């Protein structure tokens, strides 16, 4: 029986799209491509999520690979949530319903140590019973160890957990440690997947 629902953050509870952030800064053409590659597509970005590199050191490294005219943009993109932090449609209503039905709700996210600076401002945060952030444990999804950290920290049984992520590799990793789950394709399809798993949500 499912008792716990575990959510990813980006593109599940909030929209996360690098091109949207670049558009907010009115960056186009070569500058846009350079920043997409050297900010969002670089090793340092992953290292901030793993918690092995500070945002400040990551930004400094990124700037060494970019022309000086784009250094200001690096600083803005490192605080991307200030550019565009939009809740995913239908998810606050779903979390409220799940909470009302007695399910325990958790966040398991690849995110830097600064996540609490912005996520707590979202309405969905108040429904969560706990959070596991990759940067706090020097682990990243889909490493199986981070799913086991969630289970150990909150004394959960894997077979009682349903995991939701927009990346199939992360859902598959959750299944390998004994959870069930679904790839996020919108609130309505998720409701259907939850109902099929025996969770009593409206479809």
Question: Residue 185 pLDDT more than 90?
Answer: yes
What is the secondary structure of 4-40 as a DSSP string?
EEEE-SBTTTB---HHHHHHHTT--HHHHHHHIIIII
What are the pLDDT digits (tens) for 81-101? 999 899 999 999 999 999 999
pLDDT greater than 90 at residue 191: yes
Q: Determine the average pLDDT of the residues in 160-170.
A: 98
Q: Is the pLDDT of residue 147 over 90?
A: yes
User: Does residue 202 carry a pLDDT above 90?
Assistant: yes
Phi-psi region of 87 (alpha: psi -120 to 50; beta: other; left: phi over 0): beta
Question: If you search the block for the tokens 């690849």, which residue do you land on?
Answer: 110
Average pLDDT taken over every residue of the chain: 96
Over pLDDT 70: what percentage of the chain?
100
* Residue 118 contacts residue 81 (beta carbons within 8 Å): yes
- pTM flag (> 0.85): yes
Q: How confident is the model at residue 28 (pLDDT cuts 50, 70, 90)?
A: confident
Query: Where residue 193 falls among pLDDT bands split at 50, 70, 90?
Result: very high
**How deeply is 92 buried, as exposed, middle or buried, from its count of CB atoms within 10 A (0-12, 13-18, 19+)?**
middle
């Amino acid at each position: 029986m499912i008792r716990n629902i575990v959510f990813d953050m980006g593109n599940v509870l909030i929209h996360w799209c690098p091109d949207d952030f670049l558009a907010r800064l009115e960056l186009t053409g070569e500058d846009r491509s350079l920043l997409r590659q050297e900010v969002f597509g670089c090793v340092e970005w992953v290292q901030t999520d793993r918690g092995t590199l500070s945002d400040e050191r990551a930004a400094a490294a990124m700037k060494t690979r970019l022309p000086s005219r784009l250094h200001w943009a690096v600083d803005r993109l490192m605080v991307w949530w200030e550019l565009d932090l939009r809740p995913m449609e239908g998810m606050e209503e779903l979390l409220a319903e799940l909470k009302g039905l007695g399910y325990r709700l958790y966040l398991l996210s690849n995110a830097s140590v600064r996540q609490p600076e912005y996520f707590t401002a979202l309405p969905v945060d108040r429904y969560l019973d706990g959070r596991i952030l990759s940067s706090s444990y020097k682990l990243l999804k889909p490493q199986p160890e981070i799913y086991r950290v969630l289970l150990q920290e909150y004394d959960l049984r894997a077979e009682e957990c349903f995991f939701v992520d927009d990346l199939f590799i992360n859902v598959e990793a959750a299944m390998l440690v004994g959870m069930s789950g679904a790839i996020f394709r919108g609130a309505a399809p998720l409701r259907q997947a939850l109902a099929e798993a025996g969770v009593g949500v409206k479809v």
